[in-house]
Amino acid sequence: MKARFLLPLGLFAALVVLFAVGLGLNPREVPSPLIDKQAPTFTLPQLHAPEASFGSRELTQQPVALVNIWASWCVACRQEHPFLMELAQRGDVPIYGLNYKDERADAIAWLKRHGNPYRVSGHDLDGRVGIDWGVYGVPETFVVDGRGVIRYKHIGPITPQVWREKMEPVVRQLQQGGA
Amino acid sequence: MRIFCLALLLLVATSAVASIGVYEFETPEQEVRFKRLSEELRCLVCQNQSLADSNAELALDLRRQVHTMILAGKSNADIVEFMTERYGDFVLYRPPLRAATVLLWVGPFVLLLLGVVVLGRLVRQRASGTGNDDAQLDVAEQKRLEQILRRRGE
């Protein structure tokens, strides 16, 4: 007799828990299949110097680097920009930029106005390299190790909290692991 | 004024065509494949639309990618592999059967089975009359029922 009432109640409670967890997840955070894989090879013209190139080779010149996908039309990029500037000033980890589907002049003007935290930015005008990197929403930031393997990907603007809790531990570990 | 309206209409018309994107194919078979593929691949920006439905920039780019790959003679499997390598199973409206997706594929049938079992048990209980003691009256209730009936009969 008791079980007859307890069973639906139990099922209901299980559903509530399931939905609560499901609603708490962010559907925009699609796990990237690129994690722990070799970063896609690419060669792009540099944003500031179109005749020079920027490619995967530059990413393996240090034990760890950040690759930030950005665009002047991207609102959330502006939001994370001050923090990228701060990171660049600290100089712990080199930041490379991938300027995604942007007009060169717009991108350069944007960096002039807000500051340029990037060592180099590649200019991906048609977004083809972005597709190889599985980019679907700017800004996105990849942590790439010295062998050119993607170790972490963050979708959306980097906040100090995201940096402290998610990205910095990965970066530190790679830096301590030696080249 | 009329010319202005005409110009405006023409402008709207061209931009509409531009955003949908007209692709040319060598064979009708290629076009069919293009349509099938862009309906089965999911746009990652507007997550409940397929590439075919979506007008997001990324969907446009991915449609163009599918188009060039078809013209380059790639098979459907090649194209699906290309997409999943970059965007994961999420890009597929029909994800492959794996440990992580078993619940997705089997879940509805498990629920259906559960429903059938529960329904079957309920029906059997009703039919056999056991289990619903509520319908049976105990002695006191029976007496009260008789009382009421007698009063009515008076």
Nearest residue of chain B to residue A29 (CA atoms): B44
Residue B2 lies in a domain: no
CB contact under 8 A, B45 and A131: no
User: What letter does residue A146 receive in the DSSP assignment?
Assistant: T
Which residues of chain A form beta strands (DSSP E)? 43-45, 53-55, 64-70, 95-100, 121-124, 140-145, 150-155
Q: What digits encode the pLDDT tens for the residues A11-46? A: 999 999 999 988 888 777 777 889 999 999 999 999
- Output the CA torsion sign for B101, B102, B106, B111: negative
Residue A69 and residue A101 in contact, taking contact as beta carbons nearer than 8 Å: no
Cβ-count burial A101-111 (b if 16+ within 10 Å, e if not) = bbeeeebbebb
- pLDDT score for A179: 46
Measure A91 CA to nearest chain B CA, in Å: 30
- pLDDT grade for B113, boundaries at 50, 70 and 90: very high
Residue B3 lies in a domain: no
Tokens 């979506």 sit on residue: B54
Residues of A in contact with B54 (CB under 8 A): none
The CATH number covering residue B44 comes to 1.10.8.640
Of A31, A34, A131, the CB nearest to B61: A131
> What's the mean pLDDT when you consider all of chain B?
83
- pLDDT score for B89: 86
Residues of B in contact with A34 (CB under 8 A): 86
User: Phi/psi at B124 (nearest 5 deg)?
Assistant: -65, -40
- Give the CATH number of domain A34-176; options: 3.40.30.10, 3.40.50.300, 2.60.40.1120, 1.10.150.240: 3.40.30.10
% pLDDT > 90, chain A = 79
Name which residue leads in pLDDT, B137 or A146.
Answer: A146
Residues 69-98 of A with CB under 8 A from B: none
User: What letter does residue B26 receive in the DSSP assignment?
Assistant: S
% pLDDT > 70, chain B = 81
User: Helix, strand, coil: what percent of chain A each, to 5?
Assistant: 40, 20, 35
% pLDDT > 70, chain A = 98
ipTM above 0.90, yes or no: no
- pLDDT score for B13: 56
Domain boundaries, chain A: 34-176
CB contact under 8 A, A131 and B62: yes
